[in-house]
């Protein structure tokens, strides 16, 4: 019989919880017993996720805004603390892809947008949550990286650089707080059936062709459902993963092994 690892009594902040992997993770955390704070730029989607969790008997709160804005980060952490007393779990999932434009033609605007959302925002939120975790001497951070954080040809240069950054941030946090009761791990999904690819500018044809050999290899293995990635996040957040810290877990059907 399959059982869900318990997260009873824990408070989890999950970014990008309005859709895709974030939404699936919010639902699975709630079913495992966690109280969930859904953070997303999409107000309607975040409120829908919260309504669904509440309908199923869970406890959830939506906080919306641009997570690369320090003022929004401050409000998110303040509302979480006021409502639930603090945060035990953090899932940095929110992110965007890039246009896959070849490096020689990437604009400053695209580079800065992708770095701001994919790398700066999770750093800012992690930094804001860490004092709470340090005071209580326990906490778990799960970062959602990507296959593009493990290799050079699974995304455009901005996306690839940020996901390598997420991998580095994960290892740095794990090393820094390994004796403080705080664990940090990352998931590196391959192709997943979400709407992330529809939220950015159109794909550059030249860049798509340059990346095709690697991308097609991953898609050929199979496209995962968001729930399959969320299940890994639940495991990493649970006590079942108590001895796992600083790990980057590929959840890609074996793509990273090729």
Nearest to 135 by CA among 91, 77, 67: 77
- pLDDT score recorded for residue 91: 98
Question: Which CATH number is 88's domain given?
Answer: 3.40.50.720
Residue 119 lies in a domain: yes
CA distance 5 to 116: 33
Residue 5 lies in a domain: no
Structure tokens at 147: 């296959």
Q: Which amino acids are annotated catalytic?
A: 159
Residue 254 lies in a domain: no
Strand partners, 235: none
> Cβ of 3: how many Cβ atoms within 10 Å?
7
- pLDDT score recorded for residue 1: 35
- pLDDT score recorded for residue 2: 46
- pLDDT score recorded for residue 201: 65
Phi, psi of 211 (to 5 degrees): -90, -10
Structure tokens at 171: 């290892």
Angle, helices 20-31/43-55, rounded to nearest 10 degrees:
20
- For the chain (258 residues), the mean pLDDT of every run of 10, in chain order, is 74 97 98 98 97 97 97 98 97 97 97 98 98 97 98 97 98 98 98 70 91 90 95 98 98 93
Domain of residue 206, residue span: 11-249
Residue 6 lies in a domain: no
């Amino acid at each position: 019989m399959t059982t869900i690892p318990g997260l009873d009594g824990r408070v989890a902040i999950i970014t990008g919880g309005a859709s895709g992997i974030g939404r699936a993770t919010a639902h699975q955390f709630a079913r495992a017993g966690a109280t969930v704070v859904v953070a997303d730029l999409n107000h309607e989607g975040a409120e829908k996720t919260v309504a669904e969790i509440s309908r199923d008997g869970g406890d959830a709160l939506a906080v919306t805004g641009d997570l690369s804005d320090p003022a929004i980060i401050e409000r998110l952490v303040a509302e979480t603390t006021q409502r639930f007393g603090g945060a035990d779990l953090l899932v940095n999932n929110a992110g965007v892809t890039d246009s896959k434009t070849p490096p020689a033609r990437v604009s400053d605007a695209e580079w800065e947008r992708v770095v701001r959302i994919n790398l700066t925002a999770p750093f800012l939120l992690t930094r804001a949550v860490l004092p709470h975790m340090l005071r209580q001497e326990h906490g778990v951070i799960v970062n959602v990286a990507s296959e593009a954080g493990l290799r050079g040809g699974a995304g455009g240069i901005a996306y690839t650089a940020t996901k390598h950054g997420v991998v580095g941030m994960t290892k740095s946090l794990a090393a820094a707080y390994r004796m403080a009761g705080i664990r940090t791990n990352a998931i590196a999904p391959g192709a997943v059936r979400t709407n992330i690819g529809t939220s950015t500018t159109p794909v550059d044809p030249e860049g798509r062709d340059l990346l095709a050999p690697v991308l097609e290899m991953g898609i050929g293995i199979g496209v995962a459902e968001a729930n399959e990635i969320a299940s890994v996040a639940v495991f990493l957040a649970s006590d079942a993963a108590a001895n796992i810290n600083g790990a980057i877990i590929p959840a890609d059907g074996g793509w990273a092994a090729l």
